[in-house]
Structure 1
Amino acid sequence: MSAAEYDAELDASGLFCPEPVMMLHNRINDVEPGKVLRVTATDPSTTRDIPRFCQFLGHELLSHTEQDDRFVYLIRRGS
């Protein structure tokens, strides 16, 4: 995944629920509406929590992939 596919990044590796989503909540506010944030996490609960976060707050989950022991999300910030 190249940096051209996203505008900002958050590495929540090694953190456990609820920290990744709390960090995501703060970091997404630094991203302009319509821009893409790449989130990397190791906590499997993010596979449930991040899609719900996006749905609840109106952000678009563009992709979710697993790479080795990491979960990678691309999120387009809503307005």
Structure 2
Amino acid sequence: MPPRELDVRGFYCPLPILRTRALLDTMADGEEVIVYATDPASTIDFRHFCNTTSNELIAHEKREDVFVYHIRRRV
């Protein structure tokens, strides 16, 4: 199954995390989501979110002004 995509560009803390959590809660274990964000604080927020939940931050990168996070759902 291809990864889902979530666009939270233009939103600021805590909305990118809240929307990501809401989507992950609907996903099965092992599914992946790619999140697109523009909030500079999201680099800290997504690391912390994945470190304090069972979800796995597979990769992250910056493409111009967009931060891209690859997250795997873990139960």
Classify the TM-score, shorter chain. over 0.9
Large movers: runs of 4+ above 2 Å: none
Query: Paired residue for 2:5?
Result: 9
Deviation at 1:29, TM superposition (A): 1.0
Equivalent runs, 1:6-45 vs 2, <5 Å: 6-45=2-41
TM-score, length-normalised on structure 2? 0.93
RMSD, aligned α-carbons: 1.2
**Distance in 2 between residues matched to 1:22 and 1:36, nearest whole Å:** 17
Deviation at 1:53, TM superposition (A): 0.5
Which runs of no fewer than 5 residues in structure 2 stay unpaired? none
**Distance in 1 between residues matched to 2:21 and 2:3, nearest whole Å:** 16
Deviation at 1:58, TM superposition (A): 1.1
Which runs of no fewer than 5 residues in structure 1 stay unpaired? none
1:55 and 2:59 aligned: no
Deviation at 1:25, TM superposition (A): 1.1
TM-score, length-normalised on structure 1? 0.89
Counterpart code for 1:76 = R
Q: What SS class does the counterpart of residue 48 from structure 2 fall into?
A: helix
